Amino acid sequence: MELQRVNNIENESISESKGTNSPGFSNTPTNHNNRNANIPKLHTTSSCCSSCNSYNTSILFTIIVFVTMITMQSPLSEAVTCYECNKTQLFCQDKFTRYDADVPTCEGDVCYKKKVLEDGKYLTIRTCTTFQEQNEQCKLVDQPYTNICICSRNYCNFATKNFASFLTLSIFFAGFVGVVAFISG
């Protein structure tokens, strides 16, 4: 009789592990080795982390915009094409429209625009030149009045006023987007 009782207990244990219902036993297996079974699981996402993700996305977007702007700014080849005309040609003056027919061009490292005061008149020279360390800027030189602008994009020496650097504007825009993303994040 004792042997039969042991066999019944073993059979009940086997049927319990298989998930079958046995009289007097629960259908749910009990795992006594798992110490963490009754500890509640923590959520991995919180409002702090979601705002961090939003901030990281904003930073990534700002970096992508900045790199795109830099890529657009830099010439694809070493030579750039520039308008070329001198102070004696009327179409070269600062009412210059880049759509004038037969405006000569040249190729060089940078485009160059020089506006000079001679005999009480402002005259403009547009050409290309070799690489200058002072790239993408305008500066005033005393002779008595000479304004020199250098840029490194194709046909960038058409501007009628001091032309702002596209790179400077790009950096400002990317910084503005980053600040807005930081504040709203």
Residue 92 lies in a domain: yes
Q: Is the dihedral of CA 58, 59, 60, 63 positive or negative?
A: positive
Query: Which residues span the domain enclosing 116?
Result: 77-165
Q: Is the pLDDT of residue 41 over 80?
A: no
52-64 in b/e burial notation, b at 16+ Cβ within 10 A?
Answer: eeeeeebeeebee
32 secondary structure, DSSP code: S
What pLDDT shows up at residue 60?
81
Residue 150 lies in a domain: yes
Q: How far from the centroid of its chain's Cα atoms is residue 178's Cα?
A: 10
List strands edge to edge, sheet with 137-141.
121-129, 110-118, 146-151, 137-141
Q: Is the pLDDT of residue 32 over 80?
A: no
Residue 157 lies in a domain: yes
Q: Is the pLDDT of residue 185 over 70?
A: no
What number of other Cβ atoms are within 10 A of residue 41's Cβ?
6
For the domain that residue 144 is a member of, what is the CATH number?
2.10.60.10
Q: How many domains does the chain have?
A: 1
Looking at every residue in the chain, the average pLDDT score rounds to: 68
Residue 156 lies in a domain: yes
pLDDT range class, residue 25, cuts 50, 70, 90 = very low
Residue 30 lies in a domain: no
pLDDT range class, residue 182, cuts 50, 70, 90 = confident
Residue pair 141/152 in contact (Cβ under 8 Å)? The answer is no
Q: Which carries the bigger pLDDT value, residue 115 or residue 94? A: 115
Residue 68 lies in a domain: no
**pLDDT tens string 45-104:** 555 555 566 777 778 888 887 777 666 555 444 678 888 888 888 778 777 766 665 678
What tokens does 63 get?
């970096």
Residue 136 lies in a domain: yes
Residue 111 lies in a domain: yes
